[in-house]
C-alpha cells in the first residue's frame, strides 16, 4: 500500500507495540491517530510521535464508534485499523477470578469486535481497508495459567477468519499477527515480572514485520504470521 497520506487508527497506541506501529506509520507519511484510556500517557505518546489521539475504551461501544468517526470526520476516510489494545491476567483455573476473565475478554475480544465492526462499516463503504488484529502465540497454543488470556486470543483468531471471509470482496485485507514474547509493559500490567534479555523481541520487530506485510501490493496479502525471537534461550 501507499503509506503517504494513508489514515490509520491504532488502539493501545500509547506504549509498546501500538506505539511502535504508530511511530512507523507516522514516519512513512501516514496520518495517525492513537487510542488509549490513560489520558496522560496518551497525550505524551501523541506529542512524541507527532500524531493525533483519541481518549477512549475499546470495550465501550460509544468510544469505539467515536474513534472511527473522529478519524473519518477529519480525513474523510480510514485506511488502516490496528486492533492492538489488550492485556492479560494469569492464574490456574481453580484460582482464576471470574472478574479477571471477564475483563480480559471485554478488552481483547469484545473491544476488538467493536473496533473491527466500526472500521469495517467504513471499509465496506469506501471499498478498501487494512484491518490488522494483534494476537499472540498464546492464541496458537494454550498453557498453564492462560485460561483468560489464551482463550481471548483464540477467540480473536476465530473472529479474524470470519472477518477475512466476509470482507475480501470489499477489497479489505484482514491480517492476524502473533507476536511471541516482547519486552513491553504487558507483564507489569498482568502482575508478573518479565525477565529482561537482549535476545528477546522488542516492539520494533513487530512493527517492522507489520510494515512489511502492509507493503505487499494490494492484489495480495499475508493472512496470518507469527514473529519469534531467533534465539531467546539463555546459554
In the three-class reduction of DSSP (H, G, I as helix; E, B as strand; rest coil), residue 182 is classed as strand
Nearest to 160 by CA among 190, 115, 126: 115
> What residues does 10 pair with on adjacent strands?
34, 82
Nearest to 134 by CA among 224, 25, 3: 224
Per annotation, catalytic residue among 101, 110, 123, 149: 149
Whether 149 sits among the annotated catalytic residues: the reply is yes
Q: What's the grid cell of residue 208? A: 517492522
Distance CA 149, CA 155 (A): 10
Q: Which helix (H) or strand (E) holds 9?
A: strand 7-11
Nearest to 59 by CA among 113, 111, 118: 111
Q: Could you list the active site residues?
A: 149
Amino acid at each position: 500500500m501507499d503509506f503517504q497520506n494513508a489514515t490509520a487508527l491504532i488502539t493501545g497506541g500509547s506504549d509498546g507495540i501500538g506505539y511502535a506501529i504508530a511511530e512507523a506509520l507516522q514516519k512513512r507519511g501516514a496520518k495517525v491517530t492513537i487510542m488509549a484510556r490513560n489520558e496522560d500517557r496518551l497525550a505524551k505518546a501523541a506529542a512524541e510521535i507527532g500524531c493525533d489521539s483519541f481518549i477512549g475504551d475499546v470495550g465501550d461501544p460509544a468510544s469505539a464508534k467515536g474513534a472511527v468517526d473522529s478519524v473519518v470526520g477529519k480525513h474523510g476516510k480510514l485506511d488502516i485499523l490496528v486492533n492492538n489494545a489488550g492485556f492479560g491476567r494469569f492464574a490456574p483455573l481453580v484460582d482464576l477470578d471470574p472478574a479477571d476473565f471477564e475483563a480480559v475478554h471485554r478488552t481483547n475480544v469484545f473491544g476488538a469486535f467493536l473496533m473491527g465492526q466500526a472500521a469495517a462499516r467504513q471499509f465496506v463503504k469506501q471499498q478498501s481497508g487494512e484491518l490488522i488484529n494483534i494476537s499472540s502465540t498464546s492464541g496458537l497454543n494454550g498453557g498453564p495459567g492462560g485460561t483468560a488470556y489464551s482463550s481471548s486470543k483464540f477467540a480473536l483468531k476465530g473472529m479474524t477468519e470470519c472477518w477475512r471471509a466476509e470482507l475480501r470482496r470489499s477489497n479489505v485485507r484482514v491480517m492476524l499477527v502473533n507476536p511471541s514474547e516482547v519486552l513491553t509493559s504487558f507483564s507489569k500490567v498482568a502482575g508478573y515480572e518479565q525477565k529482561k534479555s537482549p535476545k528477546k523481541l522488542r516492539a520494533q520487530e513487530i512493527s517492522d514485520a507489520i510494515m512489511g506485510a502492509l507493503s505487499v501490493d494490494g492484489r495480495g496479502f499475508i493472512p496470518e504470521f507469527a514473529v519469534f525471537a531467533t534465539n531467546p534461550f539463555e546459554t
